[in-house]
Amino acid sequence: MYQPDPGGRSAPAFVQSAPQITAHPLRFTGSGGEYFRVWIVNVLLGIVTLGFYTPWARRRTAQYFYGHTMVADSPLEFTAPQGKMVKGFVMLVLLTLAYQIAVRTGQDTAVSLFLLGGALLAPLIWGSAMRFRLSATRWRGLRLQFTAGWGEVYKASWPVFAIALVWIVAVLGLQALAPEPLPSASGRKIPQVTAPMWALAALAVVLTVLCIIRLEYNYKSLLVLRGQVGVEPGRWKPVYMDFVKVWLATVGFFIVCVAVVGALLAALLGGSFALLASQSRQLGLWLFVLIVAGFFLLIALLFLISAPARAYREARMFHLMWSNIGVSHVARFKCKLRTRGYVLLRVKNLLLTVLTLGFYRPFARVSEYRMKVDSVTLHIKGSVDQLAGQLARQQQGGLGDALADAAGLDLIG
């Protein structure tokens, strides 16, 4: 662009405009029918091999979903080496077997050491798994990386140790507050639970839940902030109270679901309970059978009732995350996932899965994944080719790729 100077001469004056922001909705191109073929083979081979096909099944599943997830019209890639997935699975199986043997043979010291070791190694296992997963994810040849050091991982894991401390203090406090047991007619002593003991136990539960929420927040924020594409770090906006609000809303939603279902059951089965109570003497042993069956049905019902609340939390958390993260100053995400629509989809999928004895599960998984992916839009500063080229120039060479391949094992699901 040219502008005349005060002396009457024409001089070039270059006006630099800001890069244009381009929007790229994410898309999932897979289908339930396609994934059903992957799923049924995984299930059958898992049964035949007594579960040892699991690492191969997980790799095939990840490759299917990654390969059909389009980010700016380019699919994701899952490039994890199968050998490392098998090693991680075998290590997990051996540790689980050793722990079960210690429990069943009454080796209390060994069990305590396993639990203590598990608590100390949990951050290491999580960090290793995150390194593995991000290093195995590619987009347009660009590798993701998790660059947090082990000190950062253990610092973010402080709620794990806080939970242990809370319950150590709670147990000691309950022992100090417990009054002398009351003698019964049979000579046995019945322990008493006082109001202060209930209050201390409730406080321990509340603190535990808050620590669990904090741990989730710490891990997710660390994963985003210390995740990199090229040398561009992630950008993170949510705060801890955002997570607390989602959890509180989920608890309230669950209470409403329980109240509604409870009222419906009371209206439908109220007369049946009255009839059962009047015929209790004639039923005899069948009454015990009905009580046991009712207990298991109640557990199953609570699981079903919790499904909408779990879907509610999942949708709210997904929207919170993907509307508030980005890649440095070059890209950001926005999410328009509707919580109500996702909850209704989960309820429908759950009913169809139960009615089909589980065979609708792959179709349910694809529909839920598609709703999530299709709700996200990537906003890039400039063109996709410019961004990919910039990140490719920043990416490490062969040595960095080799180190990323060596980092981490697939130890958690």
| Residue 66 pLDDT class (50, 70, 90 cuts) | very high
- The whole-number pLDDT of residue 243 equals 97
Helices (H), 226-360: 240-278, 280-283, 285-322, 339-355
pLDDT at 208: 95
CA atoms within 13 A on the CB side of 146: 26
DSSP string, 75-108: EEEE---HHHHHHHHHHHHHHHHHHHHHHHTT-H
For residue 237, the SS3 value is coil
At 401 the pLDDT is 44
Check: CB of residue 312 under 8 Å from CB of residue 250: yes
Mean pLDDT of 43-52: 94
Mean pLDDT across the stretch 86-98? 87
Region 80-88 average pLDDT: 88
Q: Can you tell me the distance from the alpha carbon of 191 to that of 126, in angstroms, rounded to the nearest whole number?
A: 41
Task: Give the mean model confidence (pLDDT) for residues 250-270.
Answer: 83
For residues 378 and 331, the answer to whether their CB atoms sit within 8 Å is: yes
pLDDT higher at 207 or 264 = 207
Q: 2 pLDDT exceeds 50?
A: no
Domain ranges of the chain: 239-310
Q: Which residue's structure tokens are 């950062």?
A: 152
What pLDDT score does 273 carry? 54
The larger pLDDT score, comparing residue 182 to residue 329, is at: 329
Residue-wise pLDDT for 114-160, tens only, equals 878 888 888 988 998 899 899 899 998 888 889 999 999 999 999 99
Q: What is the pLDDT of residue 377?
A: 96
Q: What is the mean pLDDT of the chain?
A: 84
Position 398 scores a pLDDT of: 43
pLDDT surpassing 70 at residue 284: no
Kindly indicate the confidence band of residue 406, based on its pLDDT and cuts at 50, 70 and 90.
Answer: very low
- pLDDT higher than 50, residue 107: yes
Give the pLDDT mean for 219-237.
Answer: 92
The contacts found for 332-335 with CB under 8 angstroms, 24 or more apart, are: 332/235, 332/378, 332/379, 333/376, 333/377, 333/378, 333/379, 334/376, 334/377, 334/379, 335/375, 335/376, 335/377
Banded pLDDT at 93 (limits 50, 70, 90):
confident
Q: How many CA atoms lie within 13 A of 169 on its CB side?
A: 12
Nearest alpha-carbon partner for 404 in 136, 90, 98, 206: 136
Q: What is the pLDDT of residue 413?
A: 44
Better-predicted residue by pLDDT, 337 or 262: 337
| CA distances for 202 relative to 78, 83, 163, 209, 243, angstroms | 44, 46, 14, 11, 21
Q: What is the pLDDT of residues 175-221, one digit of tens each?
A: 888 887 766 656 666 677 888 889 999 999 999 999 999 999 999 99
Given this model, what pLDDT does residue 371 score?
97
313, pLDDT greater than 70: yes
In this prediction the pTM is 0.82
**Cβ contact 181:191 at 8 Å:** yes
pLDDT of residue 272 exceeding 80: no
Q: How many CB atoms lie within 10 A of CB 401?
A: 13
Angle between helices 54-67 and 82-104 in degrees, nearest 10: 140
Determine the Cα–Cα distance for residues 376 and 322; give it in Å rounded to an integer: 7
The SS3 assignment for 360 reads coil
Share of the chain above pLDDT 90, in %: 51
Q: Is the pLDDT of residue 50 over 70?
A: yes
Higher-scoring residue by pLDDT: 120, 400: 120
Q: Which of 23-32, 57-66, 210-219, 386-395 has the lowest mean pLDDT?
A: 386-395
Give the model's confidence band at 35: pLDDT under 50 very low, under 70 low, under 90 confident, else very high: very high
pLDDT at 265: 75
Please choose, from the candidates 326, 382, 389, 332, the residue with its C-alpha nearest in 3D space to the C-alpha of residue 20. Answer: 382
Check residue 280 and give its pLDDT.
54
Percent of the chain with pLDDT over 70: 81
HSE-up of residue 362 (Cα within 13 Å, Cβ side):
18
Q: Which residue has the higher pLDDT, 322 or 5?
A: 322
- Model confidence at 254: pLDDT above 50: yes
